[in-house]
A and B are shown apart, each in its own frame.
Chain A
Amino acid sequence: MVEFAGHLPGLAAAEVEWRMLDFAAWGESVQVSVPVLSEAQALALAARVRENARSYLKTLSVAQIVVTIDKAVARLLDRDDPLRQKLEAILPIVTGYDRETVRLGLSGYLRTFRAPQLQRFLTEDFANPGMLDAFQPAIKGGFTRAYGPELLLHIWAGNVPGLPLWSMISGLLVKAGTIGKVASGEPLLAGWFAQILAEIDPKLGECLAIVWWKGGDEASERIWLGEADTIVAYGGNDALAAIRNRVPITARFLPHGHKIGFGLVSGAVLDTRNAGPLARLVAHDVMRYEQQGCYSPQMLFVERGGKVSPREFAALVSGELASFARTHPRRALSVAEAAGVAAWRSAEEMRAFDETGRAVLGDAGDPWSVVCVEAAEGLAPSGLNRTLKIVAVDSLDAVVPLVASHRAFLQSVAVAAAPEELFRVAALLGEAGVTRICACGRMTAPEAGWHNDGRFNLLDLVTITEIEQSAELAAEGFAPYVD
């Protein structure tokens, strides 16, 4: 089975060099052809997308763009649609995530891009989204209008299905000519989404391209970085630093680095009625996408003093992870990933020999691992792939100093607490640099219109043009109807 990745308006498949990427999982394999463009082709494509966006996309109203995206998303949500069926069949092989995780993850994620959610998304960033279409009166006087980039380059990373759609849709909403560079770990979805858009509105399909180059390929990267006026990039800090070094000083660079998520459970909620369901939600967050997402939890701080102790809660979470291992089997790990899991687990085992307050739950061969620690311990990554450390604390306030030194890596936190405590703790977490607080079980499904990494995802892309009041008043003096 060979699938083609990318979306290259104006270029015929035969004109382009293709490279084959091999994927295998769950006993099946698939080959994905990714395009390798020459410098001339890349430059021509950039010019074409920029020009098409200028002459067409920027003439559409935001409302029209929302309608088109909504139609495309509706197709991907329709389980009878052939493309949706293809996604469900192929993404598990490409990413290794199990079928149910891909199916549920896709639906849950795509649902946040329907028309009402897109409108919410727009109003989160623009008090009056009409300023994307025309000059709007400003409160201070004069008029303002927002313009998206002429050419917006997305450099995606990782294999969590669908993540590229997030920034791609943001770019389209601000009418940016769009180039997306897919990751070798999941090269398909972005290109297919672009093709659906092109089927619904062929002219809009000419305003975006989906390309590929090998991550870190400096020569290719330089070509594209030289063309774009705004760059959104995902990846580890080393990769981002390398990209930033090549970004022209006049371009806007918006990096999204790797993040570490965690959870807080108040002792007050840990009674025998809540503990079981809560443990299932925590395990769900750990299981979903094998902790590969920036929003995935790698540590859980549990307050002592509840009817269910942190150690007992750790046992409940372990039980739920064991049950998920049957319904949602862990994806096959590479040697390096398996070594990462084993190294994390065995290091914890070693420490458990010398400390009474440290327990490693489950067997070494289990497809999950939970470690429970009685002494306060600072935030640190787990071994990923369903490995979680549960740290007992005397109060939720005690968590803040344990995470504060990692400010640059903070993003999502799940909190299970009563309202008063939720808001009190949220204020402390926000101060420490946390940008998203959600319920347990929702960590991997940010709500529509969320502010990824605490930024204004649309506003960060635009520039504002202002007609100052002086120009407006002066113009009155030049009007033909002036007295």
Chain B
Amino acid sequence: MQGIRPTMRAFGKAWLDVTEAQIIEALLAFIDRGEATEAAFEEMALAVFAYQFAHNQPYRRFAIQRGRTTLTVRNWRDIPAVPITAFKDLTLSCTPPEQVERVFMTSGTTQGGVRGKSYHPTLAVWDRSMLVNFRQRFMQGRDRIAMGILFPDEEAMPNSSLAHYLSLAKRECGSADSEGFIGPDGLDLGRLIAGLERAETSGEPFALLGASYSFVHLLDALAAAGRRFALPEGSRILDTGGFKGQSREMGADAFYDALSAALGVPRRACINMYGMTELSTQFYDDGNAFCPPVKSGPHWIRSRVVDPVTGRDVPEGTTGVLAHHDLAHFNCVSAILTEDAGIMVDAGFKLLGRVDGADSKGCSLAVAEFLKAARG
């Protein structure tokens, strides 16, 4: 960081000379520093913005259209947030996309099969971001834990950021007997029940991690089989991503009550991870004893709640749309406008569901219904 700081504020154009290697080095150091003041975050955010403004042409055009350039932006909150739909329409990458190590793609369930793409020239920053945060928020001091993964592995889904996330968790934080339970034919219930039985008798804490909808499938399968487990003290659950039409919808309270009853893991040890393909950093809550819980992230990501039309912060305590600023997502864009409603609270934010499908209040046809009809 030292080597590049002098040019940062006053000479936006000088950032054309900053190399990807320098940015990566600065970010890894920033993640490792443990905490960051508002000023330190802002300094890094402006540096990353200048880098993206210089090297990501579609983002540069977007920023200029919004009247935000390296010359006018003085505050990290002024860095223009790109709506996540842009990841579908535009190639948002500082590095030529054909040269990147990995492309993560959205599932394409929301917009007629069009998938949003995030390009990663290296996974070094993504992985560091994930692990530092995961160890703190999920591992909570443990070095390793026996894991059961309810999601296909990275080989099966190379473009899934969640598959990578869970593979990384298993590799770096799982004990030797950790295993995945979703194969080409879906949930391997027999093997999972055997795994849960082993965990139950071992007395060692067990962690079950996966997509929220996979847990619904598991709950239904256990109910059908008439099985319940009481996993040892210290066991925990991580679910993420909602139901996405892949399973029946469940209310949050019903979902965590059912998990708790079926697996013997208290709701306070059921942690929901909120992540997105369009980010390189995840948010966590501290358990779901009460819903909706407060979500928060580490010092290299900050969130705002904005009016989506003006892009400005809404008054505190007002519902708006979440915008995240993730320094670790350095190669695409760091500032994104989500389609999630949220409200800022003291220690983070509360997630209040998606806001993409507004129906008209009258009898005019709105986009959501139109798309549905178009898809048939």
Residues of A within 8 A of B (CB): 95, 157-160, 163, 185, 234-238, 256-261, 289-294, 296, 298, 333-344, 346-347, 349-351, 353-354, 360, 364-365, 367, 380-381, 383-384, 408-409
1/0 contact string of B339-376 vs chain A (CB within 8 Å): 10100000000000001111111111111011011000
CB distance from A220 to the nearest CB of B (A): 21
Q: Given A294-B363, A340-B358, list of 9 further CB < 8 A pairs?
A: A160-B363, A234-B363, A236-B369, A258-B360, A298-B365, A334-B358, A335-B319, A336-B358, A350-B85
CB distance from A34 to the nearest CB of B (A): 17
Find chain B residues with CB under 8 A from A290 CB. Answer: 361
Residues of B within 8 A of A (CB): 58, 61-62, 65-66, 83, 85-86, 89-90, 307-312, 319-321, 337, 339, 341, 355-367, 369-370, 372-373
Cross-interface CB contact of A163 among B83, B320, B363, B366, cutoff 8 Å: B363
Please tell me if the beta carbons of A338 and B321 are within 8 angstroms of each other in the complex: yes
Count of inter-chain pairs, beta carbons less than 8 A: 150
Please tell me if the beta carbons of A383 and B363 are within 8 angstroms of each other in the complex: no
Please tell me if the beta carbons of B365 and A259 are within 8 angstroms of each other in the complex: yes
Cross-interface CB contact of A298 among B61, B83, B364, B372, cutoff 8 Å: B364
CB distance from A404 to the nearest CB of B (A): 14
Cross-interface CB contact of B311 among A292, A335, A364, A408, cutoff 8 Å: A364
CB distance from B249 to the nearest CB of A (A): 14
Q: Which 5 A-B residue pairings sit nearest by Cβ, starting from the closest?
A: A292-B362, A342-B308, A336-B358, A158-B362, A294-B363
Cross-interface CB contact of A339 among B89, B308, B363, B370, cutoff 8 Å: B308
Please tell me if the beta carbons of A292 and B360 are within 8 angstroms of each other in the complex: yes
Cross-interface CB contact of A364 among B66, B89, B320, B358, cutoff 8 Å: B66
Please tell me if the beta carbons of A236 and B359 are within 8 angstroms of each other in the complex: yes
Find chain A residues with CB under 8 A from B339 CB. Answer: 339, 343
Cross-interface CB contact of A346 among B86, B320, B362, B369, cutoff 8 Å: B86
Question: Which residue of chain A has its CB nearest to the CB of B357?
Answer: A336
25 A–B contacts from the bound complex (CB under 8 Å) = A158-B360, A158-B362, A159-B361, A163-B362, A235-B363, A237-B369, A258-B366, A261-B364, A291-B364, A292-B360, A292-B362, A334-B358, A336-B355, A336-B357, A336-B358, A340-B356, A347-B83, A349-B62, A350-B83, A350-B89, A364-B309, A380-B370, A384-B360, A408-B373, A409-B370
Name, among A157, A234, A353, the residue most crowded by chain B CB atoms within 10 Å (CB to CB): A353
Cross-interface CB contact of B362 among A289, A351, A409, cutoff 8 Å: A289
Find chain B residues with CB under 8 A from A292 CB. Answer: 360-364
Please tell me if the beta carbons of A258 and B363 are within 8 angstroms of each other in the complex: yes
Please tell me if the beta carbons of A342 and B337 are within 8 angstroms of each other in the complex: yes
Cross-interface CB contact of B83 among A258, A343, A360, cutoff 8 Å: A343
CB distance from B118 to the nearest CB of A (A): 16
CB distance from B17 to the nearest CB of A (A): 25
Given known contacts A353-B61, A408-B373, A341 and B308 CB-to-CB distance under 8 angstroms: yes
Please tell me if the beta carbons of A381 and B365 are within 8 angstroms of each other in the complex: yes
